[in-house]
Structure 1
Amino acid sequence: MPFPDCVPELTDGVVGLRAHQPQDDPRIVEQSTDPDSMRWTTVPRPYGLADAASFRDLIEREWNTPGAQRHWVITDAQDPDGRYLGTIDLRAGKSGMAEVGFGLHPEGRGRGLMAAALRLVAAHFFNDLGGQRLYWWASRGNFASWRVAWACGFTFHATLPARLQPAQPAARPEDGWVASLGPHDDRTIPAAPWRVAVELAGDGIRLRPWRDEDVSAIEPWSGGGHFMPPGAEPTVAGFGEWLLRRRERMSRGESTHWCIADAATDRALGDAVLIDRDQEEGSAELGYLLLPSARGRGAASISARLMIEHAFAAAEDGGRGLRRLTALTVGDNAPSAAVLTRTGFTEWGREPQFCAREDGTYDEARHWVLLRP
């Protein structure tokens, strides 16, 4: 059957997917000129009704071509008018592979409609078309898009440099995130947790999420350069990349980062972290760093205690329900060892020639552990 009769209408009772219609054009324009859409997509600039009509013509040609790209309108299944709330598309490849893309009108955001639409398209691809693997791509930093794929069980694979066409024609290619979903993956739950820095406070210190504006507190670094992994300390020039890496790790369940802030002024004092990556179930690694002007006031010890309490608290009480925390310091870092000792950690072993000092000699690693009481 020709378009639009060839378009299978899909619904789960919450979201509906249907063919594009001429009356959708004004809302397609509204979506395409929205700042978020312009930031993360390659829609033409400027974008008007003629562009929307051309887009629909392309969609019709593709539906009338076997094996071509497929587009659906996203609607609220409870809306009797079936108003346009976005578009989702399926780009079939070879050997049972396909890519999915999507975008929402501002009116449709924050309602869970996109995740429901993605589950419908995934079910159609796997169950009706015999698909074997569904891929998702997005520009690095597009957490809204990743949140949708994450909620539908996609597994994150990699960040590929200069992989995607830039939104602006004259700009450089953008780094791309890629994730995928298989036919037997659970599409109702995420494949990994998305860590959130819940606010923790006590003794004049507040642990909260990092903010872009915290760059104003960043200072030149001082202290042993080998005390931390390369790139762990923030700099003014590199703060955007430093913060993005931490947000990426949290979105993949690899770690939870807090900004250590002064409770009275809210000024950033340092970074606190629980690292899950490569840890056994029920275990995490505790870490912290302080900006030079924040040292000597007990902020590291207070932050460590707050993280310990959160880590060992039961999940139903808002904690992590962990059974064990580990930590690592280098032999020269006596202040950090003192923090761990004060907060109850036990040193259980040392590792010789762990890392190089600035003078070319090698420092050892000290390994620490704390069990839930």
Structure 2
Amino acid sequence: MTLRAPGPDDLAGAIERYLESPGGSFGAEDARRWVTYGITEAWAAGSQLVFVIEYDGRYAGSVGLKPDSMGNASVHFGLAAWAQGAGVAARAVRLVLEFGFETCGFHVIHWWAAAGNWPSRRVAWATGFRAGPTIEGLAEMAGRRTDAWTGWILPGDRREARQRWLEVPVLETSRIRLRTWRDDEIDRITTARTNQATAHFLPFIPQPFAAEDARWWLKDMAEQAAAGRRFNWCIADASTDLGLGNLTLFNLGPDGDGELGYWAHPDAQGRGIMTEAIRTVASWFFAAPADNSTAADRAPVAGSGFGGARLVIRTAATNKAARKVAESAGFRHAGTEREAFRLSTHPDDRVTYDLLASDQVASSGAMPSST
């Protein structure tokens, strides 16, 4: 891969790349002007420092820095569809960061992307950008204001990921499949989350749980995984793929600890579905990772365990249904904290259940299949 000035042979590739994004504000004629003389003029004016990305001997996209008046710059990049998935964009960004800090002397280089632009966020994550806040209405896309993710990197920062990006594995048994939720399952989520028990035991959850709440929740779960903070599974029927409930693994500690939270759709309750899901996730959580790294520093891969050491479940002492599930899944009552669980009407005692890797080895069999 090479970063270089544009040439006549880049024109066809540049037009093709911009036409891959229908509805964008940059058309074929814009691409022609930009590659023919726009990039050269931007360099001359110092307004943008743009390089063509040459990969495998052909035009693959562009990467550049836009200086500001405070001695900093923002990074922008785009890649042709045929070149994606091979780490090209991340390598190009690392090279332009080196140029920006070492040659240009920028103090801070910023990144932003419209919220939901996961490929751009993945590149920023892989190249060491610190995650900043999501800013409402920062970007304009197709004539509409939209929220944007932000980030920044300093000269002394390493050009590699600062934390894990958690890939949620698909885990299966003969009866259930644990996978991520889909956008077309909003109704299943809202129905499951709108009920009296949720209002009582989890008063911070909106009631009724509307479609807007469900969409925000799905977006938040994806961002939590990208930040290395939690896994979230839809528990689906193995035959029909119908969503039956939810299982979340969070509070992932450096010593291999994790905490589980769960809820079920009304038509899935009383069937042992949640107990089976918890046992399935526990088997994967305690299984050794394929690369022998620790749970604290690895990004899980398909077919590999997480290498965890201890799982906990915390709930209200009066939540009989949640306690029954924990006990049925083999968790042991580890302690009770008085008035530590806030209900909708009063504080309740909080009970903690735990399961150790040694417990799992003593009581379970094979690890569930994963993809």
Does residue 268 of the first structure (1) align with residue 243 of the second (2)?
yes
The corresponding residue for 1:64 is 44
Q: Does residue 355 of the first structure (1) align with residue 342 of the second (2)? A: yes
- Which of 11, 14, 18 aligns to 1:32? It is 18
Amino acid at match of 2:100: F
Q: CA deviation at 1:146?
A: 0.7
State the distance in 1 between where 2:189 and 2:289 align. 33
Determine the C-alpha separation between the residues in 2 that align with 1:273 and 1:353.
21
**Post-superposition, which runs of at least 4 consecutive aligned residues in structure 1 deviate over 6 A?**
none
Rate the CA distance shift 1:340–1:33 in 2: closer, same or farther, 3 A: same
Instruction: Answer whether contact 1:151 1:190 (CA < 8 A) is retained.
Output: yes
Please point out which of 100, 118, 125 is paired with 1:143: 118
CA distance in 2, matches of 1:31, 1:146: 19
Tell me the distance in 1 between the aligned counterparts of 2:318 and 2:8: 70
- Does residue 18 of structure 2 align to residue 43 of structure 1? no
The 1-side partners of 2:139 and 2:254 are apart by 35
Counting only pairs closer than 5 Å after superposition, residues 320-359 of structure 1 correspond to structure 2 as 320-343=306-329, 344-352=331-339, 354-357=341-344
Aligned residue among 86, 105, 108 for 1:133: 108
8 Å CA contact retained: 1:203, 1:302: no
Aligned counterpart for 2:305 among listed residues 304, 319, 327: 319
Other-structure match for 1:10: none
User: Once structures 1 and 2 are overlaid, which stretch shifts more, 212-221 or 114-123?
Assistant: 212-221
1:114 aligns with 2:89: yes
Partners of 1:162 and 1:302 lie apart in 2 by 43
SS of 2:64's equivalent? strand
State how 1:159-198 maps to structure 2 within 5 Å. Answer: 159-165=134-140, 167-169=141-143, 171=144, 173-187=145-159, 189-198=160-169
Structure 1 residue 141: Cα displacement: 0.8
1:232–1:154 distance in 2 versus 1, CA, 3 Å:
farther
Please give the per-residue CA displacement for 1:1-43, whole angstroms capped at 9, x wherever unaligned: xxxxxxxxxxxxxx111112344333222222223x75xxx63
8 Å contact kept, 1:22–1:53: no
8 Å Cα contact 1:271/1:288 also seen in 2: yes
> Could you say which residue in structure 2 is the equivalent of 1:17?
3
3-state SS of the aligned residue for 2:161?
coil
AA aligned to 2:333 is T
Secondary structure of 2:155 counterpart: coil
User: Matches of 2:187 and 2:15 in 1, distance apart?
Assistant: 38
- Please report how far the alpha carbon of residue 232 of structure 1 lies from its aligned counterpart in structure 2 after TM superposition: 8.4
Q: Is the 8 A contact 1:32 1:43 kept in 2?
A: no
Residue 242 (structure 1) aligned with residue 217 (structure 2): yes
* Counterparts of 1:353 and 1:273, CA distance in 2: 21
Per-residue deviation, 1:273: 1.1
1:209 matches 2:180: yes
Indicate conservation of the 8 Å contact 1:351/1:365, yes or no: yes
Distance apart, 1:117 and its partner CA? 0.4
Aligned to 2:367: none
Q: Report the Cα distance in structure 2 between the residues aligned to 1:311 and 1:248, rounded to whole angstroms.
A: 21
User: Partners of 2:162 and 2:275 in 1: how far apart?
Assistant: 34
Residues 320 and 50 (structure 1), Cα distance of their counterparts in 2 relative to 1, 3 Å cut: closer
Aligned partners of 2:317 and 2:196: how far apart in 1?
A: 14
The answer to whether the Cα contact below 8 Å between 2:66 and 2:74 also exists between their aligned partners in 1 is: yes
CA distance in 2, matches of 1:294, 1:267: 10
Deviation at 1:215, TM superposition (A): 3.1
Task: Identify which of 238, 251, 263 aligns with 2:226.
Answer: 251
Contact 1:255 1:276 in 2 (8 A): yes
Describe the shift of the 1:93–1:283 C-alpha distance in structure 2 as closer, same or farther (beyond 3 A): farther
TM-superposed deviation, 1:107:
1.9
1:222 pairs with one of 184, 195, 202: 195
CA contact (8 A) 1:100 1:136 kept: yes
**Hey, what does 1:364 align to over in structure 2?**
349
Q: Distance in 1 between matches of 2:340 and 2:61?
A: 57
Q: Could you report, residue by residue, the CA deviation over 1:73-107 in whole angstroms, capped at 9, with x for unpaired residues?
A: 1111x41xxx2211111012355422101111122
Can you list the C-alpha shifts for 1:110-156, whole angstroms capped at 9, x where unaligned?
22111110111111122222333222101111111111111112221
**Cα deviations by residue, 1:330-352 (Å, 9 ceiling, x for unpaired):** 23311111111222232322241
Q: For residue 291 of structure 1, what is the amino acid of its counterpart? A: H
Aligned to 1:298: 272
SS of 1:118's equivalent in the other structure is helix
Backbone CA RMSD of aligned residues:
2.4
Normalized against structure 1, the TM-score is what? 0.84
Q: Indicate the SS of the match to 2:306.
A: coil
**Cα distance 1:196–1:345, how it changes in 2: closer, same or farther (>3 A)?**
farther
Q: Any idea what SS the aligned residue of 2:6 has?
A: coil
Shift of 1:55: 6.1
Can you give the 5+ residue segments of structure 1 that lack an aligned partner in the other structure? 1-14
